[in-house]
A and B are shown apart, each in its own frame.
Chain A
Amino acid sequence: MFSKLSKGDVTFTVINYALLCLVVCLMIYPLVYVVSSSISNPEKMLLGELWLFPKDLTLDSYVLAFKNSDIWMGYRNTIFYTVLGTLINLTLSIMIAYPLSRSDFYGRGVITAFIIFTMFFSGGMIPTYLLVRDLGMVDTIWAVTIPGAVSVYNVIIMRTFFQGIPEEIREAAAIDGSTNLHFLWKIVLPLSTPIIAVMALFYGVGHWNSYFDALIYLQDSGKFPLQLFLRQMLIQDDMTAMSTSGTDGVAQHILRVEGLKYAVVLIASLPMLIVYPFLQKYFIKGVMIGSLKG
């Protein structure tokens, strides 16, 4: 089907490709700059000599970053919260999504409305905070894993997937005397590994990147996730660094801190950025199932 393109369409195609190239450059530039800065001498950065490619290669910033015990502790805590939190998320989501996917489950309309309502209306930050506090969850891992344990959006995606499993399989299993739970465990879950993987990724990325629950519920810095340490290092320090610039000794310090920051950003984001292109098609599948179901 190679019909001849009109002149207008050629122009359109050229402009389209050119604009998309521009978008790609704008998207990727900050990321490339961060990588280059993290492996360059920070002085070059300050002098404005660093635009795109690294200059004066050095790994000093990484050496400094890896000496920082907060980063290691944050990493360890975040991995722990991500694994535990995702397991809780998945278990609860399957427990509600499966019954809601069954057309013979009486009350599913009411229950669906019951959970969807919470997407659009909430009691607010303070009543939730008071509840978590009264339950004695403050400064425990439960505060960062339980309050957001079920995402309604993800439940809807999962339910939609379960609905696609043919009724006949279940009817056949029922004749063989299989109970619902047995069927869920032995047939539905093995058939649903793609969607469970997508959900694990959605929830996992959420845990890895979140800081809000930790900010309001955790006080002991030994329990802080990586993101809270990043906030301390990258955002709170930045303000003081910016306000005390001027003298030479401080300038030297700023230099080192600046280089360190780029290394830290990369160390914190690399796991996600490396993993994501390989899992991209699963993520996209998840978004598509979700979007098409509203």
Chain B
Amino acid sequence: MNVGEGVILLKPKETADEILGSTKQDKSGSALKRESRLKSIRKNWDLYLLILPVILYFLIFKYYPMYGAQIAFKNFLAVEGITGSPWVGFEHFIRFFDSFYFWRLIRNTLLIGLYELALGFPIPIILALMINEVKNKRFKQIVQTVTYAPHFLSTVVVVALLFMLLSPVTGVVNNIIAAFGGEPIAFMTEPGWFKTTYVLSGVWQTMGWSSIIYLAALAGIDPQLKEAAMIDGASKMQQIWHINLPAIKPTIIIMLILQCGSIFGVGFEKIFLMQNNLNMAASDVIATHVYRAGILGSQYSYSTAIGLFESVINFTILIIVNYIARKVNKVSLW
């Protein structure tokens, strides 16, 4: 795999420093540096002009909603606006914690997140290790093309396929079950099957695409290492264990941190489509609850409070996992 085209490849660790580290350098400036800084700003005034609209975009569409999230602590009244609405403290949060839905939402959100982590995280790594061992170029190409393909289907189409292929009446999966003498299973309406269907279809759709990252890291391994190991009589499994896995460890850790950051933030799009009245007990998660309460029910302050609760927990988990990763493995996002 050839990256080429003047791209400088860096390891994830260097990357993170590169992205965020330059702030530190900028702070330690002498008078001379300050002068050259002014000169650089004057010289590049057109670049600041260029970037300004995008900064404004981020301020308006990303940071203003964070400011707007204060309505979680207020009783939002459209006429009074965000600033003018009266403060009510943690009233909405307490109402949420006391509600009938609270534990159901927490349980579903967490279980789906953990289920996804347990299956969706290791499978692409294993797939990448397997593809990496294939020597036949044509076969490798076929495996890659086929496994990446589902990534290009829309969420709506994937969920529609689930409904169609898993239908208890017309679906091919239940036809197969029936052919072996089993009873048809209502995968899409039976709460007990919901999480499995959700996670496995997710694995089906994303395992190939997610493996690219690891394949890229594997492609960077020095072939001499492998040759040396072969001369020493290491088996294929030993080579994978002692050479390939350690080589992609930084990538694995970065991806793990990112995945952990979304354990508590199951995405809205797919779950919303798979949800129906019959499987609600297993499929109702925080994001869909926010949608129903806020956008359909117009309880803006209450639903903002729930959303904020989720964001804060996610962000906290990300920081904690990142901190642990930095201590234990010296690899982290920042």
Chain B neighbourhood of A272, CB < 8 A: 152-153
Q: Choose the segment among B39-47, B93-101, B105-113 that binds chain A (4+ C-beta atoms closer than 8 Å).
A: B39-47
Of chain A, the residue at the smallest CB distance from B208 is A27
**Interface pairs (9), CB distance under 8 Å:** A20-B143, A98-B47, A99-B51, A123-B69, A130-B82, A147-B61, A181-B46, A211-B269, A284-B1
- Of A113, A128, A164, A179, the residue contacting B5 (CB under 8 A) is A164
> Could you list 4 further interchain pairs (A-B, Cβ under 8 angstroms) beyond the known A123-B67, A245-B169, A269-B157?
A165-B6, A184-B50, A216-B295, A285-B5
> How far is it, in angstroms, between the C-alpha of A138 and the C-alpha of B164 when the chains are bound?
33
Q: In the complex the two chains form, is A273's CB within 8 Å of B149's CB? A: yes
Assess whether B230 is in contact with A124, with CB atoms less than 8 Å apart: no
Q: List chain B positions with a Cβ less than 8 A from chain A.
A: 1, 3, 5-12, 15-16, 18-26, 37, 40-41, 43-44, 46-48, 50-51, 53-55, 57-58, 60-69, 71, 82, 127, 130-131, 133-134, 139, 142-150, 152-157, 159-161, 163-165, 167-170, 172, 175, 178-179, 189, 204, 208-209, 212-213, 216-217, 227, 230, 235-237, 251, 254, 261, 268-269, 273, 276, 287, 290-291, 294-295, 300, 303-304, 307-308, 310-311, 314-315, 318, 333
Do A150 and B58 touch across chains, with their CB atoms under 8 A apart?
Answer: yes
Instruction: State which of B133, B150, B157 has its C-beta within 8 Å of the C-beta of A230.
Output: B157
Q: Which residues of A come within 8 Å of B, CB atoms?
A: 1, 3, 6, 8-9, 12-13, 16-17, 19-20, 23-24, 26-28, 30-31, 33-34, 45-46, 48, 50-51, 92, 95-96, 98-100, 102, 104-116, 118, 120-131, 146-147, 149-150, 156, 160-161, 163-166, 179-181, 184, 191, 194-195, 205, 208-212, 216, 227, 230-231, 234-235, 238-239, 242, 245, 254, 258, 261-262, 265, 268-269, 272-273, 276-277, 280, 283-285, 287-289, 291-294
Per a CB cutoff under 8 Å, which of A114, A211, A291 touches B156?
Answer: A211
Contact A48 B15 (CB under 8 A): no
In the complex, the answer to whether A31 meets B149 with C-beta atoms within 8 Å is yes
Shortest C-beta distance, B53 to chain A (Å), equals 7
CB pair B65–A180 under 8 Å, yes or no, is: no
Task: Flag if B145 contacts A289 (CB, 8 Å).
Answer: no
Q: Is the CB of A205 within 8 A of B290?
A: no
Residues of B within 8 A of A124 (CB): 65, 69, 290, 304, 307-308, 310-311
B156 A234 Cβ-Cβ under 8 A: yes
B101 → chain A, closest Cβ, in Å? Answer: 16
- What is the interface of chain B mostly: helix, strand, loop, or mixed? helix
Q: Which of A113, A205, A294 contacts B12 (CB 8 A)?
A: A294
Q: Give the Cβ gap from A287 to chain B, nearest Cβ, in Å.
A: 5
Indicate which residue in A27, A104, A127 contacts B71 across the interface (CB closer than 8 Å).
A127
Q: Which residues of B contact A28 (CB under 8 A)?
A: 146, 149
Q: How far is the CB of A41 from chain B (nearest CB, A)?
A: 13
Closest chain-A Cβ to B39's Cβ sits at a distance in Å of 10
C-alpha spacing A257/B274, complex, angstroms? 19
Are B164 and A261 neighbours in the complex by a CB distance under 8 Å?
yes
- A8: chain B residues at CB < 8 Å are 235-237
CB within 8 Å: A-B pair count: 330
A104 in contact with B170 (CB, 8 Å): no
Separation in Å of the B264 CB from the closest CB of chain A? 13
Chain B residue nearest to A118 (CB atoms) is B62
Please pick, from A125, A131, A194, A239, the residue contacting B307 in the complex, using a CB distance under 8 A: A125
Do B15 and A27 have beta carbons less than 8 Å apart? Answer: no
Q: B304–A107 contact, CB under 8 A? A: no
* Cβ-defined contact, B172 with A160, below 8 A: no
Complex alpha-carbon distance, A17 and B127, angstroms: 12
Smallest Cβ distance from A7 to chain B, in angstroms? 10
- When chains A and B are docked, how far (Å) is the Cα of A156 from the Cα of B310? 26
The reply to whether A262 and B50 form a contact with Cβ atoms under 8 Å apart is no
Of the candidates A120, A123, A277, the one having the most CB atoms from chain B within 10 angstroms of its own CB is: A123
Task: Collect the chain B residues with CB atoms within 8 Å of residue A293's CB.
Answer: 10, 12, 15, 18-19
Q: In the complex, which of the residues A46, A128, A163 has the most CB atoms of chain B within 10 Å of its own CB atom?
A: A128
Q: Let me know if A109 and B26 touch, CB within 8 A.
A: yes
A92: nearest chain-B partner, CB-CB: B54
Closest to B17 in A: A294
Asked if residues B1 and A238 are in contact (CB atoms below 8 Å), the reply is: no
> Which among A3, A26, A46, A191 is the interface contact of B170 at CB below 8 angstroms?
A46
B1/A3 in contact, CB under 8 A: no
Instruction: Assess whether A113 is in contact with B20, with CB atoms less than 8 Å apart.
Output: yes
Does A242 lie within 8 Å of B155, measured CB to CB? no
- A125-B287, A245-B169 in contact; A277/B294 too (CB < 8 A)? no
| Separation of A234 and B146 alpha carbons in the complex (Å) | 24
* A34 in contact with B154 (CB, 8 Å): no
Is the CB–CB distance between A287 and B213 below 8 Å?
Answer: yes
- Distance in Å: Cβ of B171 to nearest Cβ of chain A: 9
Asked if B54 contacts A23 (CB within 8 A), the reply is: no
Closest 5 CB pairs of A and B: A123-B65, A124-B307, A109-B22, A127-B68, A209-B154
Tell me if B22 and A292 are in contact (CB < 8 A).
no
Give bound CA distance, A105 to B51, whole Å: 11
Q: How far is the CA of A95 from the CA of B49 in the complex (A)?
A: 9
Residues of B contacting A123 in the complex (Cβ-Cβ under 8 angstroms) = 62-69, 311
A239 to B278, CA, bound (A): 10
Residues from chain A with a CB closer than 8 A to the CB of B134 are: 16-17, 20
What is the minimal beta-carbon distance from A273 to any residue of chain B, in angstroms? 6
Min C-beta distance of A265 to chain B, whole Å: 6
Whether A180 contacts B172 in the complex (CB less than 8 A), given A19-B130, A208-B154, comes out as no
Q: Whole-angstrom distance from the CB of B309 to the nearest CB of chain A?
A: 10
Question: In the complex, which residues of chain A have a beta carbon less than 8 angstroms from the beta carbon of B19?
Answer: 112-113, 116, 156, 293-294
